[in-house]
Amino acid sequence: MSYDLELIDVGKVYDNGTTAVSEFSLAITRGEFIAFLGPSGCGKTTTLRMIAGFESITSGDMMIKGVRMNDIPPQHRPTSTIFQNYALFPHMSVRRNIGYGLEVKGMSKAERDAKVDRIIATLGLEDIAERKPEKLSGGQRQRIALARGLVVEPDILLLDEPLGALDANLRKAIQSELKLLQKTLNVTFIFVTHAQSEALALSDRVVVMNQGRVEQISPPHQLYTRPDTPFVAQFIGRNTIFSGAIDDRQGDVARISTLAGTLCGRWNGQGGGCIRGGRVNLVVPAEAIEVHAGEGTAREEIALRYDGNLIDAKLTGFAVVGHVSHLTATLDDGRQVSLEAHIDKYQPGRFAVGSRIVLSWNPTEATVIPAP
Protein backbone atom coordinates (compact mmCIF):
# COMPACT_ATOMS: atom_id res chain seq x y z
CA MET A 1 0.00 0.00 0.00
CA SER A 2 1.32 3.43 -0.89
CA TYR A 3 0.73 6.09 1.72
CA ASP A 4 0.16 9.73 0.87
CA LEU A 5 2.80 10.63 3.43
CA GLU A 6 5.24 8.58 5.45
CA LEU A 7 7.56 9.95 8.07
CA ILE A 8 10.06 7.33 9.16
CA ASP A 9 12.06 8.13 12.31
CA VAL A 10 12.31 11.76 11.25
CA GLY A 11 14.46 14.01 13.40
CA LYS A 12 15.47 17.67 13.37
CA VAL A 13 18.43 19.27 15.10
CA TYR A 14 18.78 23.01 14.36
CA ASP A 15 22.21 24.49 13.65
CA ASN A 16 22.36 25.91 17.18
CA GLY A 17 22.11 22.36 18.56
CA THR A 18 18.42 22.46 19.55
CA THR A 19 16.76 19.09 19.06
CA ALA A 20 13.28 20.05 17.88
CA VAL A 21 11.97 16.67 16.68
CA SER A 22 13.07 13.09 17.45
CA GLU A 23 12.15 9.76 15.85
CA PHE A 24 8.85 11.00 14.44
CA SER A 25 7.04 8.22 12.56
CA LEU A 26 3.66 8.52 10.94
CA ALA A 27 1.90 7.02 7.91
CA ILE A 28 -1.07 8.86 6.40
CA THR A 29 -3.51 7.51 3.84
CA ARG A 30 -5.12 9.66 1.15
CA GLY A 31 -7.87 11.97 2.34
CA GLU A 32 -7.03 11.82 6.04
CA PHE A 33 -7.36 14.91 8.19
CA ILE A 34 -4.48 14.90 10.66
CA ALA A 35 -3.81 17.35 13.50
CA PHE A 36 -0.46 17.95 15.20
CA LEU A 37 -1.33 18.97 18.74
CA GLY A 38 0.93 19.85 21.64
CA PRO A 39 2.24 22.59 23.88
CA SER A 40 4.30 25.49 22.60
CA GLY A 41 7.78 24.41 21.48
CA CYS A 42 6.98 20.68 21.15
CA GLY A 43 8.02 20.63 17.47
CA LYS A 44 4.70 20.85 15.59
CA THR A 45 5.69 23.67 13.24
CA THR A 46 9.14 22.25 12.65
CA THR A 47 7.58 18.94 11.56
CA LEU A 48 5.13 20.73 9.25
CA ARG A 49 7.96 22.78 7.76
CA MET A 50 10.02 19.62 7.15
CA ILE A 51 7.08 18.13 5.26
CA ALA A 52 6.74 21.32 3.21
CA GLY A 53 10.48 21.43 2.55
CA PHE A 54 11.12 24.79 4.26
CA GLU A 55 13.28 23.02 6.84
CA SER A 56 15.82 20.29 6.12
CA ILE A 57 15.42 16.85 7.69
CA THR A 58 18.37 15.92 9.92
CA SER A 59 17.65 12.20 10.19
CA GLY A 60 15.12 9.69 8.93
CA ASP A 61 13.09 9.65 5.72
CA MET A 62 10.07 11.40 4.37
CA MET A 63 8.08 9.88 1.53
CA ILE A 64 5.10 11.20 -0.43
CA LYS A 65 3.26 8.52 -2.42
CA GLY A 66 6.28 6.28 -2.05
CA VAL A 67 8.83 8.83 -3.34
CA ARG A 68 11.59 10.03 -1.02
CA MET A 69 11.28 13.78 -0.55
CA ASN A 70 14.18 14.64 1.80
CA ASP A 71 16.17 16.47 -0.87
CA ILE A 72 13.35 17.78 -3.06
CA PRO A 73 12.88 21.58 -2.84
CA PRO A 74 9.51 22.90 -1.61
CA GLN A 75 8.29 24.08 -5.02
CA HIS A 76 8.71 20.59 -6.44
CA ARG A 77 6.84 18.83 -3.64
CA PRO A 78 3.14 18.03 -4.14
CA THR A 79 2.29 20.06 -1.04
CA SER A 80 0.78 23.48 -0.39
CA THR A 81 1.10 25.46 2.82
CA ILE A 82 -1.31 27.90 4.42
CA PHE A 83 0.29 30.15 7.00
CA GLN A 84 -1.43 31.60 10.03
CA ASN A 85 -1.18 35.18 8.73
CA TYR A 86 -2.36 33.94 5.27
CA ALA A 87 0.49 35.85 3.54
CA LEU A 88 -1.82 37.36 0.89
CA PHE A 89 -0.53 40.05 -1.47
CA PRO A 90 -2.40 43.24 -0.49
CA HIS A 91 -2.07 44.95 -3.89
CA MET A 92 -3.45 42.03 -5.90
CA SER A 93 -7.14 41.18 -6.34
CA VAL A 94 -8.53 38.09 -4.67
CA ARG A 95 -8.63 36.34 -8.04
CA ARG A 96 -4.99 37.13 -8.79
CA ASN A 97 -3.91 36.12 -5.29
CA ILE A 98 -5.57 32.76 -5.81
CA GLY A 99 -4.06 32.24 -9.24
CA TYR A 100 -0.58 33.46 -8.36
CA GLY A 101 0.87 29.99 -7.71
CA LEU A 102 -0.30 28.83 -11.15
CA GLU A 103 1.08 31.99 -12.76
CA VAL A 104 4.51 31.33 -11.23
CA LYS A 105 4.36 27.80 -12.60
CA GLY A 106 3.90 29.30 -16.07
CA MET A 107 0.43 27.86 -16.68
CA SER A 108 -1.50 29.34 -19.62
CA LYS A 109 -4.06 32.02 -18.81
CA ALA A 110 -7.00 29.96 -20.09
CA GLU A 111 -6.09 26.92 -17.98
CA ARG A 112 -5.35 29.13 -14.98
CA ASP A 113 -8.66 30.97 -15.24
CA ALA A 114 -10.58 27.72 -15.41
CA LYS A 115 -8.93 26.39 -12.25
CA VAL A 116 -9.28 29.68 -10.40
CA ASP A 117 -12.97 29.95 -11.35
CA ARG A 118 -13.61 26.44 -10.13
CA ILE A 119 -12.02 26.97 -6.72
CA ILE A 120 -13.69 30.40 -6.35
CA ALA A 121 -17.04 28.68 -6.89
CA THR A 122 -16.19 25.83 -4.50
CA LEU A 123 -15.36 28.28 -1.73
CA GLY A 124 -18.16 30.74 -2.54
CA LEU A 125 -15.83 33.68 -3.24
CA GLU A 126 -17.53 34.94 -6.41
CA ASP A 127 -18.76 38.21 -4.86
CA ILE A 128 -15.34 39.31 -3.66
CA ALA A 129 -13.17 37.94 -6.47
CA GLU A 130 -12.23 41.37 -7.85
CA ARG A 131 -11.59 43.02 -4.47
CA LYS A 132 -8.31 43.49 -2.61
CA PRO A 133 -7.76 41.27 0.45
CA GLU A 134 -6.98 44.11 2.86
CA LYS A 135 -10.60 45.30 2.70
CA LEU A 136 -11.96 41.87 3.62
CA SER A 137 -12.81 40.16 6.90
CA GLY A 138 -10.63 37.58 8.65
CA GLY A 139 -12.95 34.77 7.61
CA GLN A 140 -12.90 35.85 3.97
CA ARG A 141 -9.12 36.12 3.98
CA GLN A 142 -8.91 32.67 5.47
CA ARG A 143 -11.02 31.32 2.60
CA ILE A 144 -8.85 33.08 0.03
CA ALA A 145 -5.76 31.51 1.57
CA LEU A 146 -7.46 28.11 1.39
CA ALA A 147 -8.38 28.69 -2.24
CA ARG A 148 -4.81 29.67 -3.03
CA GLY A 149 -3.51 26.54 -1.33
CA LEU A 150 -5.98 24.24 -3.06
CA VAL A 151 -5.91 25.69 -6.59
CA VAL A 152 -2.53 24.08 -7.29
CA GLU A 153 -4.19 20.70 -6.56
CA PRO A 154 -1.71 19.52 -3.96
CA ASP A 155 -1.67 15.94 -2.69
CA ILE A 156 -1.23 17.31 0.80
CA LEU A 157 -2.40 20.63 2.22
CA LEU A 158 -0.40 21.82 5.21
CA LEU A 159 -2.06 24.33 7.52
CA ASP A 160 -0.16 26.13 10.27
CA GLU A 161 -2.68 27.23 12.95
CA PRO A 162 -5.13 28.06 10.14
CA LEU A 163 -7.85 29.40 12.42
CA GLY A 164 -5.58 31.07 14.97
CA ALA A 165 -6.26 34.60 13.76
CA LEU A 166 -10.06 34.30 13.91
CA ASP A 167 -12.39 35.06 16.79
CA ALA A 168 -14.12 32.20 18.60
CA ASN A 169 -17.47 32.28 16.76
CA LEU A 170 -15.96 32.55 13.32
CA ARG A 171 -13.53 29.79 14.23
CA LYS A 172 -16.41 27.41 14.91
CA ALA A 173 -18.15 28.28 11.64
CA ILE A 174 -14.98 27.90 9.58
CA GLN A 175 -14.11 24.63 11.34
CA SER A 176 -17.23 22.99 9.92
CA GLU A 177 -16.59 24.47 6.49
CA LEU A 178 -13.01 23.27 6.49
CA LYS A 179 -14.02 19.74 7.41
CA LEU A 180 -16.73 19.62 4.75
CA LEU A 181 -14.38 21.00 2.10
CA GLN A 182 -11.69 18.50 2.99
CA LYS A 183 -14.06 15.54 2.74
CA THR A 184 -15.55 16.82 -0.53
CA LEU A 185 -12.17 17.34 -2.18
CA ASN A 186 -10.64 14.22 -0.57
CA VAL A 187 -7.30 16.00 -0.15
CA THR A 188 -5.02 15.03 2.75
CA PHE A 189 -4.93 17.86 5.29
CA ILE A 190 -2.33 18.19 8.04
CA PHE A 191 -2.81 21.04 10.45
CA VAL A 192 -0.95 22.35 13.45
CA THR A 193 -2.86 23.62 16.44
CA HIS A 194 -2.56 24.49 20.11
CA ALA A 195 -6.31 24.11 20.51
CA GLN A 196 -7.38 20.74 21.78
CA SER A 197 -11.05 21.24 20.90
CA GLU A 198 -10.14 22.11 17.31
CA ALA A 199 -7.94 19.04 16.89
CA LEU A 200 -10.60 16.78 18.38
CA ALA A 201 -13.43 18.31 16.32
CA LEU A 202 -11.72 18.32 12.93
CA SER A 203 -9.34 15.44 12.58
CA ASP A 204 -9.56 11.80 11.69
CA ARG A 205 -6.44 11.26 13.81
CA VAL A 206 -4.56 13.47 16.22
CA VAL A 207 -0.79 13.32 16.74
CA VAL A 208 0.00 14.49 20.27
CA MET A 209 3.57 15.76 20.58
CA ASN A 210 5.64 16.54 23.63
CA GLN A 211 9.25 17.74 23.63
CA GLY A 212 9.82 16.76 20.02
CA ARG A 213 8.41 13.27 20.40
CA VAL A 214 5.16 11.62 19.43
CA GLU A 215 3.20 10.65 22.54
CA GLN A 216 0.16 9.13 20.84
CA ILE A 217 -1.51 8.94 17.43
CA SER A 218 -5.20 8.12 17.69
CA PRO A 219 -8.66 9.06 16.48
CA PRO A 220 -10.11 11.84 18.69
CA HIS A 221 -12.50 9.70 20.71
CA GLN A 222 -9.85 7.12 21.50
CA LEU A 223 -7.37 9.83 22.43
CA TYR A 224 -9.91 11.37 24.76
CA THR A 225 -11.08 8.17 26.40
CA ARG A 226 -7.99 5.96 26.21
CA PRO A 227 -4.74 7.86 26.76
CA ASP A 228 -1.57 5.84 26.25
CA THR A 229 0.75 7.98 28.36
CA PRO A 230 0.60 10.16 31.49
CA PHE A 231 1.34 13.22 29.35
CA VAL A 232 -1.70 12.60 27.14
CA ALA A 233 -3.84 11.88 30.22
CA GLN A 234 -2.91 15.29 31.59
CA PHE A 235 -2.98 17.21 28.34
CA ILE A 236 -6.23 15.92 26.84
CA GLY A 237 -9.62 16.09 28.52
CA ARG A 238 -10.19 16.47 32.26
CA ASN A 239 -8.77 13.47 34.01
CA THR A 240 -7.99 12.67 37.62
CA ILE A 241 -4.94 10.46 37.90
CA PHE A 242 -4.22 8.04 40.75
CA SER A 243 -0.78 6.45 40.90
CA GLY A 244 -0.39 2.99 42.33
CA ALA A 245 0.78 -0.57 41.82
CA ILE A 246 -0.99 -3.45 40.10
CA ASP A 247 -2.72 -5.93 42.41
CA ASP A 248 -4.24 -8.19 39.84
CA ARG A 249 -5.93 -8.27 36.48
CA GLN A 250 -9.08 -10.05 35.45
CA GLY A 251 -9.79 -9.89 31.75
CA ASP A 252 -9.53 -6.26 30.72
CA VAL A 253 -9.81 -4.85 34.23
CA ALA A 254 -6.69 -4.15 36.31
CA ARG A 255 -7.06 -3.57 40.04
CA ILE A 256 -4.48 -1.30 41.62
CA SER A 257 -3.47 -0.23 45.14
CA THR A 258 -3.43 3.53 45.56
CA LEU A 259 -3.30 5.92 48.50
CA ALA A 260 -7.05 6.39 48.01
CA GLY A 261 -7.69 2.63 48.33
CA THR A 262 -7.97 -0.24 45.86
CA LEU A 263 -9.36 1.06 42.57
CA CYS A 264 -9.72 -0.35 39.09
CA GLY A 265 -9.90 0.52 35.42
CA ARG A 266 -9.38 -0.96 31.99
CA TRP A 267 -5.82 -2.00 31.21
CA ASN A 268 -4.87 -0.21 27.98
CA GLY A 269 -2.48 -2.89 26.84
CA GLN A 270 0.27 -0.46 25.83
CA GLY A 271 3.89 -0.77 26.89
CA GLY A 272 4.07 -4.46 27.69
CA GLY A 273 2.48 -6.73 30.25
CA CYS A 274 0.40 -6.06 33.29
CA ILE A 275 2.72 -7.28 36.03
CA ARG A 276 1.75 -7.55 39.67
CA GLY A 277 3.43 -4.75 41.61
CA GLY A 278 4.14 -2.80 38.40
CA ARG A 279 3.85 0.99 38.79
CA VAL A 280 0.86 2.38 36.93
CA ASN A 281 -1.50 5.33 36.72
CA LEU A 282 -5.26 5.04 36.84
CA VAL A 283 -6.82 7.73 34.63
CA VAL A 284 -10.40 8.64 35.52
CA PRO A 285 -12.19 11.02 33.13
CA ALA A 286 -14.43 13.65 34.72
CA GLU A 287 -17.24 12.44 32.44
CA ALA A 288 -17.13 8.98 34.06
CA ILE A 289 -17.54 10.19 37.64
CA GLU A 290 -20.85 9.84 39.49
CA VAL A 291 -21.53 11.84 42.64
CA HIS A 292 -23.42 10.45 45.65
CA ALA A 293 -24.31 12.09 48.94
CA GLY A 294 -21.75 11.11 51.60
CA GLU A 295 -24.02 10.90 54.59
CA GLY A 296 -26.39 7.99 54.71
CA THR A 297 -24.93 6.66 51.50
CA ALA A 298 -25.19 2.93 51.03
CA ARG A 299 -21.46 2.57 50.54
CA GLU A 300 -21.49 -1.19 50.15
CA GLU A 301 -24.09 -0.94 47.45
CA ILE A 302 -22.09 1.69 45.54
CA ALA A 303 -18.86 -0.26 46.01
CA LEU A 304 -20.54 -3.36 44.64
CA ARG A 305 -22.09 -1.53 41.70
CA TYR A 306 -18.80 0.15 40.70
CA ASP A 307 -16.49 -2.77 41.48
CA GLY A 308 -14.89 -1.01 44.45
CA ASN A 309 -14.34 2.32 42.67
CA LEU A 310 -15.40 4.64 45.44
CA ILE A 311 -13.54 7.59 46.94
CA ASP A 312 -14.49 10.13 49.58
CA ALA A 313 -14.50 13.84 48.86
CA LYS A 314 -16.04 17.11 49.94
CA LEU A 315 -18.28 19.25 47.76
CA THR A 316 -16.54 22.62 47.63
CA GLY A 317 -18.42 24.28 44.80
CA PHE A 318 -21.78 24.13 43.07
CA ALA A 319 -22.91 26.53 40.37
CA VAL A 320 -25.52 26.40 37.67
CA VAL A 321 -24.88 27.96 34.27
CA GLY A 322 -27.81 27.62 31.91
CA HIS A 323 -28.78 23.97 31.93
CA VAL A 324 -25.50 22.74 33.31
CA SER A 325 -24.57 22.10 36.95
CA HIS A 326 -20.89 22.60 37.71
CA LEU A 327 -19.62 20.78 40.79
CA THR A 328 -16.22 21.03 42.42
CA ALA A 329 -15.19 18.06 44.55
CA THR A 330 -12.09 18.26 46.73
CA LEU A 331 -10.47 14.88 47.34
CA ASP A 332 -8.98 14.01 50.71
CA ASP A 333 -5.48 14.50 49.23
CA GLY A 334 -6.44 18.12 48.42
CA ARG A 335 -6.87 17.74 44.66
CA GLN A 336 -9.88 19.33 43.03
CA VAL A 337 -12.06 17.60 40.48
CA SER A 338 -14.44 19.64 38.31
CA LEU A 339 -17.58 17.87 37.21
CA GLU A 340 -20.43 18.89 34.95
CA ALA A 341 -23.82 17.40 34.22
CA HIS A 342 -27.25 18.44 33.05
CA ILE A 343 -29.16 20.28 35.76
CA ASP A 344 -31.71 17.43 35.88
CA LYS A 345 -29.01 15.09 37.14
CA TYR A 346 -27.52 17.29 39.84
CA GLN A 347 -30.32 19.66 40.81
CA PRO A 348 -29.49 22.70 42.96
CA GLY A 349 -29.90 21.75 46.61
CA ARG A 350 -29.29 18.05 46.05
CA PHE A 351 -25.83 18.35 47.66
CA ALA A 352 -24.91 21.10 50.13
CA VAL A 353 -21.60 22.88 49.57
CA GLY A 354 -19.28 21.77 52.37
CA SER A 355 -20.91 18.34 52.73
CA ARG A 356 -19.17 14.99 52.33
CA ILE A 357 -19.75 13.22 49.02
CA VAL A 358 -18.70 9.94 47.47
CA LEU A 359 -17.38 9.67 43.93
CA SER A 360 -17.61 6.49 41.87
CA TRP A 361 -16.98 5.34 38.30
CA ASN A 362 -17.48 2.35 36.12
CA PRO A 363 -14.17 0.39 35.78
CA THR A 364 -14.40 0.17 31.98
CA GLU A 365 -14.51 3.96 31.67
CA ALA A 366 -11.18 4.47 33.46
CA THR A 367 -7.83 3.51 31.96
CA VAL A 368 -4.76 1.97 33.60
CA ILE A 369 -1.50 2.98 31.90
CA PRO A 370 2.11 2.19 32.79
CA ALA A 371 3.81 4.89 34.89
CA PRO A 372 7.00 6.34 33.37
Ligand X SMILES: Nc1ncnc2c1ncn2[C@@H]1O[C@H](COP(=O)(O)OP(=O)(O)OP(=O)(O)O)[C@@H](O)[C@H]1O
Q: Which one, 47 or 268, has the nearer CB to ligand X?
A: 47
Task: Mention every residue, 6+ apart, whose C-beta is less than 8 A from residue 326.
Answer: 317, 318, 319, 320, 338, 339, 340
| x/- letters, 155..194, toward ligand X (CB under 6 A) | ---------------------------------------x
Q: Does 56 engage in binding with ligand X (CB under 6 A)?
A: no
Q: Which one, 50 or 254, has the nearer CB to ligand X?
A: 50
Among 45, 182, 203, 268, binds ligand X (CB under 6 A): 45
Cα–Cα distance between 328 and 286 in angstroms, integer?
11
User: Can you give the length of the chain in residues?
Assistant: 372
Dihedral angle of Cα 166, 168, 174, 179, to the nearest 10 degrees: 120
Q: Does 42 engage in binding with ligand X (CB under 6 A)?
A: yes
Q: Does 53 engage in binding with ligand X (CB under 6 A)?
A: no
Sort 127 into a burial class: Cβ within 10 Å, 0-12 / 13-18 / 19+: exposed
Q: Does 18 engage in binding with ligand X (CB under 6 A)?
A: yes
Q: Does 85 engage in binding with ligand X (CB under 6 A)?
A: no
Q: Does 213 engage in binding with ligand X (CB under 6 A)?
A: no
Q: Does 198 engage in binding with ligand X (CB under 6 A)?
A: no
Q: Does 20 engage in binding with ligand X (CB under 6 A)?
A: yes
Among 41, 78, 269, 278, binds ligand X (CB under 6 A): 41
* Single-letter residue type at 31: G
Q: Does 16 engage in binding with ligand X (CB under 6 A)?
A: yes
Q: How far is the CB of 266 from ligand X (least distance, A)?
A: 31
Sheet order of strands, 79-82 included:
79-82, 156-160, 188-193, 33-37, 205-210, 213-218
Cα–Cα distance between 11 and 25 in angstroms, integer?
9
Which residue, 240, 244, 241, is CA-closest to 286? Answer: 240
Partner residues linked to 11 by β-bridges: 59
Q: Which one, 18 or 336, has the nearer CB to ligand X?
A: 18
Q: Does 14 engage in binding with ligand X (CB under 6 A)?
A: yes
Q: Which one, 14 or 89, has the nearer CB to ligand X?
A: 14
Q: Does 57 engage in binding with ligand X (CB under 6 A)?
A: no
Point out which residues bind ligand X (CB under 6 A).
Answer: 14, 16, 18, 20, 38, 40-46, 194
